[in-house]
Amino acid sequence: MPLDSSAPRPVLAIHGGAGTLLRHAMSPELEAEYRASLHAILDDGAQALARGATALEVVTEAVRRLEENERFNAGKGAVFTADARHELDASVMDGQTRAAGAVAGVTRVRNPILAARAVMAHSGHVLLIGASAEEFAQGQGLEMVAPDWFDTPQRHAQLLKARELARGQMLDHDGQAAVDAGSTARPGAAQVDAKHAAAAPGSGPIDEQTKFGTVGAVACDAHGHLAAATSTGGMTNKRPGRVGDSPIIGAGCFADDRSVAVSCTGTGEAFMRACAAHEVSALMRHGGLSLAEACERVVFQELPLVQGDGGLIAVDARGQVWMGFNTEGMYRGAVRPGESPTVGIYRDE
């Protein structure tokens, strides 16, 4: 989205996860559903920006909406851990003040992004985890749900498939138990994040067995202030207690009015090792790179050095947007007030 002047132009960009493309698994009806969901969130966000909403308000609401959509791996419809539960993570950051909040490993907060926002605004801390985060969220009046509220049949089927893959990985070529494998598959032994895991036809345009299912939003408001928000259910069959990059400020989420707002989706451990979101900012502030140059360096050079697959969305204080990935596809879209949203799923869009 090129700019005609140096004045900031409000903009919202969102993502719903990246992964291996499966065009054959996409029905026209399913594709229309994904695109309509992204379009509606973007359209409402653009209207909010036009009314003068702050970037922080807009990204929080966009991610809350994505958490409510069970097609995406955050909130309702989150993936299952190895012990058949859900552990949810989220973070949010205000580029104007660099205030930030995050929660990790929550199981009963309906909208983890709202809990992250409450941590930022009312706790005096940045990151709360587990039961303590839930107790804090409940004290802030946020809606709590039973853990099984997040369940969906498709995610449970995904867990069963991952367990099957895990058992297969424990066997050698002769079908005998591998010497060092033990008698049973350990929890999280086959977290579903490998590029070449078995496909699950019919599960979506991006293979749910190889999808990095984080959601996120970045925005620039009319005053040139930035914000970023990220939320996830993690990886199917992940080891209980595992935390990825999504709630880690500087890894999966970062915002600084002096440079950029970033939300990431991908192999969380790699994004943490690369400090991916902050690295984009550092390349811009200290390296003098443009938004596009910094994002491309991180996604196509830095992340591959640590076996990092995925992508990110980013916006700078002038309202320039970058949305890219090193996988086959990424649910994504962007919009400016008064314009029609642009939405994409595949690499060639």
CA–CA separation, 40 vs 65, rounded Å?
A: 10
CA–CA separation, 302 vs 271, rounded Å?
A: 10
* Active-site annotation holder among 20, 60, 214, 265: 214
Write down the residue that tokens 């190889």 correspond to. 210
State residue 345's pLDDT score: 93
Q: Stretch 163-177: mean pLDDT, rounded?
A: 65
State residue 16's pLDDT score: 96
More confident: 91 or 202: 91
Structure confidence by residue, pLDDT tens digits, 99-127 = 999 999 999 999 999 999 999 999 999 99
What secondary structure, in 3-state letters, does the chain show? CCCCCCCCCCEEEEEEEEEEECHHHCCHHHHHHHHHHHHHHHHHHHHHHHCCCCHHHHHHHHHHHHHHCCCCCCCCCCCCECCCCCCEEEEEEECCCCCEEEEEEECCECCHHHHHHHHHHHCCCCEEEHHHHHHHHHHCCCCECCHHHHCCHHHHHHHHHHHHHHHHHCECCCCCECCCCCCCCCCCCCCCCCCCCCCCCCCCCEEEEEEECEEEEEEECCCCCEEEEEEECCCCCECCCCCCCCCCECCCEEEECCCEEEEEEECHHHHHHCCHHHHHHHHHHCCCCCHHHHHHHHHHHHHHHCCCCEEEEEEECCCCEEEEECCCEEEEEEECCCCCCEEEEECCC
**Residue of 232, 295, 231 lying closest to 262 (CA atoms):** 295
Q: Which two tokens stand for residue 108?
A: 């009963």
Indicate if the pLDDT at residue 262 is higher than 70. yes
State residue 210's pLDDT score: 56
Residue type, 33: E
Indicate if the pLDDT at residue 194 is higher than 80. no
Assigned superfamily of 11-150+206-346: (Glycosyl)asparaginase (3.60.20.30)
CA–CA separation, 38 vs 45, rounded Å?
A: 11
Environment class of residue 246 by beta-carbon count within 10 Å: exposed (0-12), middle (13-18) or buried (19+)?
buried
Poorest-confidence range of 155-159, 173-177, 196-200, 261-265? Answer: 196-200
Poorest-confidence range of 39-43, 91-95, 200-204, 296-300? Answer: 200-204
Asked if 147 contacts 106 with a C-beta cutoff of 8 angstroms, the reply is no
- Tally of CA atoms within 13 A in the half-sphere of 281 that contains its CB: 24
| Residues in contact with 268: Cβ distance below 8 Å, sequence separation at least 6, in sequence order | 234, 235, 243, 244, 245, 246, 251, 252
pLDDT band at 27 (very low <50, low <70, confident <90, very high): confident
Indicate if the pLDDT at residue 213 is higher than 50. yes
Environment class of residue 152 by beta-carbon count within 10 Å: exposed (0-12), middle (13-18) or buried (19+)?
middle
pTM: 0.90
Indicate if the pLDDT at residue 211 is higher than 80. no
Q: Stretch 6-22: mean pLDDT, rounded?
A: 86
Cβ atoms within 10 Å, residue 182: 11
CA–CA separation, 155 vs 120, rounded Å?
A: 30
Q: Stretch 225-250: mean pLDDT, rounded?
A: 97
Cβ atoms within 10 Å, residue 286: 9
Three-point CA angle 267, 269, 270, nearest 5°: 70
Indicate if the pLDDT at residue 305 is higher than 90. yes
CA–CA separation, 2 vs 10, rounded Å?
A: 13
Q: Is 184 a catalytic residue?
A: no
Q: Stretch 128-150: mean pLDDT, rounded?
A: 98
More confident: 208 or 224: 224
State residue 198's pLDDT score: 34
Q: Stretch 193-202: mean pLDDT, rounded?
A: 37
State residue 168's pLDDT score: 79
Write down the residue that tokens 């995406």 correspond to. 72
| Residues in contact with 133: Cβ distance below 8 Å, sequence separation at least 6, in sequence order | 103, 104, 105, 106, 109, 115, 119
Write down the residue that tokens 């069963």 correspond to. 160
Report the DSSP pairing between strands 127-129 and 100-106: parallel
Indicate if the pLDDT at residue 170 is higher than 70. no
State residue 20's pLDDT score: 67
Indicate if the pLDDT at residue 209 is higher than 70. no
Residue type, 17: G
